[in-house]
Structure 1
Amino acid sequence: MVLRAAALALHLCLLSALRPSDPNVCSYWESFTVAVKESYTKPHVVSSGEPCPTVMGTSLPCPQQRIVHRTEYRQALHTESRRRYQCCQGYYESRGTCVPRCSQECVHGRCVAPERCQCEPGWRGADCSSGCDERSWGPDCSQRCECHHGAPCDPLSGACSCPAGFAAPRCRDPCPDGTYGRGCRLRCACPPRAACDASTGACRCPPELAGPLCEVPCPEGTPCDTPCPCQNGGLCHPPGTSSCVCPHGWMGEICSVPCPPGRFGPGCQGECHCHNGGRCDPKGGQCQCAPGFTGEQCRERCPVGRYGPDCRERCDCANGGRCFHVDGGCLCEAGFQGSRCEERRCQPGLYGIHCESRCLCHPQHSQSCHPLLGECVCSPGWAGLFCNESCPQGSFGAGCLQPCLCLHGGVCDGATGLCHCPPGYTDEHCSSLCPPDTFGTNCSGRCSCQHALACSPLDGSCVCKEGWHGPHCSTPCPAGTWGAGCNRSCDCGHGAGCDPQSGACRCPPGWQSPRCLQPCPNGTFGAGCGERCDCANADGCEPVTGECRCLPGWTGSQCKQSCPQGFWGRGCLSPCSCRNGAACSPHDGSCTCAPGFRGPSCQRPCPPGRYGKRCALSCSCAHGSPCLPTNGSCLCAPGFRGPRCAQPCPPGTFGLQCAQLCRCPHNATCHPASGTCPCAPGRTGPHCGDETPEQPYTIVPAPPAAYSSLGVVLSLVALLALLVAMVAAGLWCRHRQKGKGSRHLAVAYTAGQTDTSDYMVPGDGGGGGDTSVVEMGTPAW
């Protein structure tokens, strides 16, 4: 115990001179060995004087052995742990304090945080090396920034730092719908019906809603407004104004911007200092440590025997194995193995598979031999199993146990630890890149780039600006490519090219959208869909040429002309199928029939007794007279006249329209339909002029009072049938020979009833005939 106390005191004296109170000093636990005296049980073989078993009846003494265990003492090395201090990640020690590290030298400024320079007035850039103002960049500040809306640009690359509400790369376009803030990285919280301000994220509510997020419905029929626009629990102060006091974790004009990393508190005014990957709580500022670290600022590694998040897990390593503070993995001491270091390999002082080998270290390059594993403790700069190898890359010192501080692949001198930097890096730890326009080993090369953002400090290769390529960035991008090195292909549809710098598609006429995949909206055409269609009676126009797409029934360059007679449809290409003088619709080809016809093509005349448009009207003619199917005018049967054929012929007339005069003796009245005369007894013939008829039959005239009404009815029925046949024949001829003149039909009326009348219509002088032909004009319908 005295030896252990002395060893601990010695270790405390050797602790680093860094002050633990320094906020940039982190702690870790270091293992070391202490020589102690320990007891152990050792087996021994001893002899026994007990008699041997009886042989042939005789008991004889014989040597016997047995194993006994005795407690013995030995010197042993125990592993202890102590807390050590070092600069936190991103810091390095300088004169007893930890200062931030910047890989690029802050030329006209100072390094205030890891990789962050604070520039002197009048200087800009990541390394404070550029004197350009916010509107210029490049060597000698000769390039003008292409940023819009007052955005400054990077003095080295010309990249724009867009203000809130505008999108990269040139800050010309506002944030896409649904996003806002700097870089357009924040998502709007407004409901779908409310617009979102691209700069602040404020919601512009519709008239029926109010509240910061338009979540409060207005009273029915009454518009309302939002007196306080503060979001996320922010308060308007003074009351009645729109000035917001933000809660913990939020900032911005209306408290819509979350705290950036490393900031916390009301309005994000507090600054966190969390180390070793710890995250800052934006509300309270507490550090949420990564696994393996603890403490208020995550500066301390987990104590020995603990690991994991908040160091809650307990290590389970046996035989002095050290526990990795992040995941609890065991690092075994020499001589032990297994996942928990529970397997012991050899006794102290021996090594090998069977613990029978002794140390074989190089006499000049070694200091001692490890008593457990047989490993050699090598002199500074030497390593290997027998200390016959120089230190491997990344280590130096005694036993090559000290890690090199050479960064970026720098080669460390095995004895002294001095760094030999690779091409492109400089300073004592190879932590800084070559100055601009230089490259190679010891930064001795000079760059020769055009149209380049930078020159590679490693090999002098040029990092071309967007739109240029080639070894010296002197060749513009070929068609169809864009971006840095022209290594990106234009993703544009319909053969569109793209901007070689930004890759934005240049749409051909008739197309739009970021990738030229959407045709122009209906009613527009041309490049950028910026021209309006000049069309009447059209469904828009062709998006490329502006040619009008006429609606059915219209034609012409501007669709102002109706289809010519006989054609219809889109382009007036379909011939009409209407007949009998029907009108054809130029839009759908439907037929508007002339009076007296019906059917899809007006091919059928009206049925008997119907007339007019679509044959919708009924004839009103008396005495069974037919009517014209066009206008319904009556065609009177023989013996009748008048508009409705309701009036009989006047005495002394007969026939159609009562146009013929009776030729009866003594001015007697004839039959109004047939014109036959009433003959006196002994007289016969149509005009009662014959005494002895030559007919093979005998006609006996009867007095008019004795006439049979049945014969009159039958005669009228026969006459009506002949008229109907005449009308049908006329319609058929009209259908067959459209356009021909009127034809005449011959109607013969015959008196052949021996029991009713002896009279017939007089003939035209032909021999042997008893008929008379009456000429009728057939209407041309």
Structure 2
Amino acid sequence: MVNKGYTLVMKINGDSSIFTYNSAYWTDNSTTFNTTNILDLDVGNTKFYAFNDVPFTFMYFTGQQLTPRKSDIITNISLNLNTTKFQPMTLVSLFNQGSNFISWVPQGRQGWLKWAGVNSTLQPNCNREGVNQIAVPSYVRNSFRMGFMGNNENNCDSPDSFVGIGAWDRTSNAGSPVYAGNRGEWEQIASIAMQVNIFIRTDYDCSLVGNCLGNGYCINNQTCQCINGYTAKNCSAYDCFGKVPNNPLVCSGNGTCLEYNLCNCTDPSRYYGPNCDLYNCNGFVYTDTNNSCYGHGSCVAPDKCICRPGYNGTLCSDYYCFGIEHAIGRVCSSNGTCTSPDVCTCNPGFSGAQCQNYYCYGTFFTSNVGCSTNGSCIGPDNCNCNPGFYGQRCEAYQCFGNVFNSSRACSGNGTCISPNTCVCKSGYYGSNCEAYNCYGTMFNQTSVCSSNGTCTAPNTCTCKSNFYGQRCEAYDCYGVMYNSSSVCTANGACISPNNCICSPTAFGSSCGDFSCFGQNRTSTSACSGNGTCVSYNTCSCMPGYYGQRCEAYNCYGIISNSTLVCSTNGTCVSPNTCLCNANFYGQRCEAYNCYGTIFNSTSVCSTNGTCINPNTCVCKNGFYGQRCEAYNCYGLLSNSTSVCSTNGTCISPDNCICKVGYYGQRCEAYNCYGTLFNSTSVCSKNGTCIATDTCSCNANFYGQQCEAYNCYGTIFNSTSVCSTNGTCINPNTCACNSGFYGQRCEAYNCYGLLSNSTSVCSTNGTCISPDNCICKVGYYGQRCEAYNCYGTLFNSTSVCSKNGTCIAPDTCSCNANFYGQQCEAYNCYGTIFNSTSVCSTNGTCINPNTCACNSGFYGQRCEAYNCYGLLSNSTS
């Protein structure tokens, strides 16, 4: 404030966050105020010494305006200790009382704030106590500010123990407020001279402080009996869990102590608990060491963790396994789970610190031996085979379609060392070792092995019979090598084994003989054996023989070589000497037998043929056998058990005598009850005719002709079969009549509902056959859905006199207030509608309690009427 006369001057400097002043009264060591002369303002308005340990009992505010103005803040100056004390509601009211004043206020930030009024805020730059009162519409002329600061330092020169007062008259033209920096302080030179005196009273009168500030009981106006944790003479002091409110560590340093053990946490989203000492890390209270910081560190502040070695991140949720973040898929070589720093839990089959190791069939994965050197070990017992290899261990492969260890691999002539790669045995070649040569000629050439053998292996010929030599090039003619000069007795050429081509005059296998007419001279057959071959083609015949070759002689006048000689049954072996063929006899070989009977006997050949040669019968048509004793009936021997279809006797070729009941050429035909045995309709089509009038029935059929069968225990032609609703067409097979269904045709519907449904026929009848309802008495319609109430269809709008519902034949359920069988009756105010007295006889009862009044009448019951404007019962 600006000093006018002797008034204390004070300036609020928002930038420095302290109060500056130019009056010695603020800095000297004098005590609070001069109590002997309270109006001695130069003495009285001294500083508030917060460093003094003596708690004040109450605080006086005294003030006066020194320069009267129209916009007076304080008007009267007279003030003394005997002035009646009162408690103002706000600071604004304190300085606008319009009279001298003296008052007191309680200590404490919340007390100041409550006392300051609805628009007050705690002063931000006065560290301990203070209020701001900004002008509101009721007090538009001024604003007021007061602040206290004190650190209990026993140093009068310290700038942190003082009170600051600021006021501003909005109507003033001598000065204007200046907003000073980020502190929100007012710096002003006010044109209003105003003196405020503040003093502290150290003697105690609990009657002056509102009954021990409400925190205790005043005893004898001198002593407060404090309660609820409060202390000090006026019960103004309290603590929160052992620390006073102005202790920086009160409420764990995270809140404000409002009253005894009641903390208001500064940021409840971060700190909580009675002492504001609790906070969370990742949603768990810091004392929950198993879950806060994910169990990997210490929670030292809200969501601030000090992690154990190996863990990191704000909440210690991150860790690494060998340099890779634990949640990345490639951690632990992608073969396990990173469960803690540098600790991998490997998947089955993997091992090693980083799960980088595994085996394929007992061999470490870096070796390809586990995959037979033919693939890569890509996982536990998991081989990725090279192209062409297969098998669990890549141990298998093929050479041109044959597995490598098959005897057929590489054509059996080599070793299959890799897919389609053969190492051929010596002498073999070709991709599949399929080719080889015999002495320069490929094995499959026609000229190989001199065309006389087979090339079975390299340079190995297997010769045909009678050939020999490495190449099968050699052979002999009767012990002499084919190319010998003496082969074929030097009379011919050896052209193949033991095959001599003789010169024209030589013959014999080895060309060593000459011949007479082609017979070796030494042969017994030379000169027909009937003379001597004396030179090439020159015979000397024995007696009885003649011809160049001595080949001719006669038997009984017939030349020996005639087809007729010796009765054609022998050989004329010498003149008149027949040598009979086997089984012929007689000089001329004219006689012979057929199975012991002379050829010309009548009984020869079983009388069924002609004996044309010894034991040679020529049978008559249809007979056969050596003796013509046999014959067939239609392809079967006459004495076969199957002849004549087993149903007759074969008496001559293709001639059967049938048993009784059988007929046909082969006795193959018979009837079952007049139907041919193989007819599709025999045995009623339900069996097989196995003998005359003998049927073998198929399963589930019976009767002589298999004509009978059952459907579910009832014979097919019973009137009750298939529930009388169908035809039994096969065993247990009913063909239902139209509208019936079910295995036994027992089921049927009436208009979509099963016959035995409780809802069938609208519940008003019985479903006796498909879509055929027999209605109960009173009901009609296809579904028995219709009925009448007293001659009117149940759903007619006029049924039950339009006053009810037809719920069954001749049964009406009347609407409210209607009655009678047909709901035709109702009352108007207790009188039946058709009574002559209804509606006071002055109207018609048209609905329950509804009268339609005759002209001139009115009222609910038509009881009222007027005479010339006056109600009929009016006294006038």
For normalisation by structure 2, the TM-score amounts to 0.23
Q: TM-score, normalised by structure 1?
A: 0.25
Which structure's CA Rg is the greater one?
Answer: 2
Q: Which structure: greater strand fraction? A: 2
